[in-house]
A and B are shown apart, each in its own frame.
Chain A
């Protein structure tokens, strides 16, 4: 999976490609994101292009969060579209993840 990254200071912003993250590509995403989740890393997933996420995609986000937290890093999500936000709220994951509005907000929140 082609993952575009952007470094802003010590924060890594990953822009998710494609319009969907579901059972057909979630495994591929997990495999390709792993090397970008460095120990103690500060990572932001930009989900602006994503119009559909299912439970497999959600699982991939969760495992990324756990991988970072385990090494003292953190993950934030930004740019969520309405249906994706609806899913997160349905399974109460909006309480587990730090969900920011824009990319800048997400980067800034690492400093605070």
Chain B
């Protein structure tokens, strides 16, 4: 049996061992705790670094819970962009802040991200903010997976692209405006209405603008009843610069013409070659400096003698259709375009014309149109088209040419502006008598206009008109005038309307001219004949009272209505 002393020793040894162990464990524990504390401190530091980074990131950042898509985190940029404090956002969803449509869009994208487990980029989304209205964002959404591999959070980063978008839209608008301005320049400065009331000649013009405007231009000067100048030109180059140069060139021609007219002996007209030479001398320096040139064809038609004097300056070959044998001659001058040599002197050529002949001027946009195989429309094809259709009215001829170009290129639009002017010589038929009057746009003047018509009919040369015919003319004039007064001039009584009547052996031509709004005859519907409508008869009455009605714009910019009434031939 152990003694007490031995027992004590054993207990002492056990206790010492246990104590040592305990001390060891305590020390280890302390080291672990210290390690843990260090680790925690490290984590804390890492976390606060991350927080700081996320908070100060210059992009909007949010985090949503993957289950209910409620916000768990917003950074400062997000607060500032949306004008909402994060304390109001955390725990809420998109539906609490944004219109339903926008919120649904956001949530749908969120779901796509979470279901697909992949990053989704949204190039543009609209978001309604409290303080800055509607903004546009470029957003990237990313799923964050939990330890179980399933999406735990959704992180979104956004950039406000509203300003950039606005800048892009403005640029697009500016471009559109440039095309619009170009088109307007074309219509107002470069391309005029061909003259409609020059006896002995009929003029038709066609322009099909391309997307980029060109420097095509044309102009008409009617000197007397028997003399018409036609100028057709093309500026080298494209776009607004070419258009402006075209307008400037036209203006120089006008100036040159007007200066030479004032110097010419009374009753004479300056020669086309002198007009071109003078105009060129004014504009040559500018053209050379701008490294551009202008091709021009200036043609003076003498309708009394049936000749045309033309000065061709490098322009496309003019086609002369001869009615007698239905052939086409090519007219080409020897002059250089404007702007090539500063002191060029221009020569003119005279060509004899006959009734039925047509002169066709055009720009190279027409002959250089290509088809799908890269073939050019070319002058031969154009000449063939004129040969086949030269006997038609110039408007119809021009339309056939347009159709041929469209068919050839298989497109309604063209790379370059397509311009075409057809001048057809007609049998000159001076009126037997002519009378005109100007009235104001007051309905009270209708009776006076009727009286004028009646008086003209009474004093007509040739067989007297039947009373029914005179009444029809009174009615037609009344209806047409009241349309102009009430609609074109919108009831203003202080405007002017010119009325003229020309008598021929076989017909009477009544014309009204005004500066009111243009009328679109195709917009008028048939009247009701069953008594249900009070109005809408005007147009129908006019059409039934005369044999022909035409609406057009003349070279003075006036809107015109011409009504023709055939006379009973004895």
Contact = CB atoms under 8 A, between A and B. Distances in A.
Contacts of A59: 534-535, 537
A78 B331 CA distance: 69
Given A24-B443, A86-B468, A91-B541, A52 B527 contact: no
B133 interface: no
Given A22-B446, A91-B541, A54 B479 contact: yes
A23 B534 CA distance: 13
B544 A22 contact: no
A102 interface: no
Interface in B440-474: 443-444, 446-447, 450, 467-468, 471-472, 474
B79 to A, nearest CB: 67
Contacts of A87: 475, 541
Given A23-B443, A87-B475, A91-B540, A52 B535 contact: no
B101 interface: no
Size category of the A interface is: 20 to 34
Contacts of B447: 20, 22, 24
Interface stretch (A3-11, A41-49, A61-69): A61-69
Contacts of B443: 22-24
Contacts of A58: 537
Nearest to A24: B443
B531 A93 contact: yes
B530 interface: yes
Nearest to A58: B537
A20 B449 CA distance: 13
Contact of B474 (A52, A60, A66, A90): A52
Interface in A27-63: 52, 54-56, 58-60, 62-63
Contacts of B472: 86
Interface string B528-566: 011101110110110011000000000000000000000
A73 B527 CA distance: 26
Contact of B529 (A23, A60, A86, A92): A92
Contacts of B530: 96
B531 A23 contact: no
A74 B239 CA distance: 68
A62 B527 contact: no
Contacts of A54: 446, 475, 478-479, 482, 541
A95 B478 CA distance: 24
Size category of the B interface is: 20 to 34
Nearest to B527: A91
A83 interface: yes
Contacts of A90: 541, 544-545
- Summarize A's interface: helix, strand, loop or mixed: helix
B47 interface: no
A63 B537 contact: no
B486 interface: yes
Contacts of B479: 54-55
Contacts of B475: 52, 54, 83, 87
Contact of A83 (B471, B531, B535, B538): B471
A24 B446 contact: yes
Given A54-B479, A54-B482, A56-B482, A23 B446 contact: yes
A58 to B, nearest CB: 6
- Among B471, B527, B533, B540, find the residue whose CB has the most chain A CB atoms closer than 10 A: B471
Contacts of A92: 529
A91 B535 contact: no
A87 B537 CA distance: 11
Given A52-B478, A86-B471, 6 more contacts: A22-B443, A23-B446, A24-B443, A24-B444, A52-B474, A83-B474
Interface of A: 20, 22-24, 52, 54-56, 58-60, 62-63, 65-66, 82-83, 86-87, 90-93, 95-96
27 contacts: A22-B443, A22-B447, A22-B478, A23-B443, A23-B482, A23-B485, A54-B475, A55-B535, A55-B541, A59-B537, A62-B533, A63-B534, A82-B467, A83-B471, A86-B468, A86-B471, A87-B475, A87-B541, A90-B541, A90-B545, A91-B529, A91-B540, A91-B541, A93-B529, A95-B529, A96-B530, A96-B531
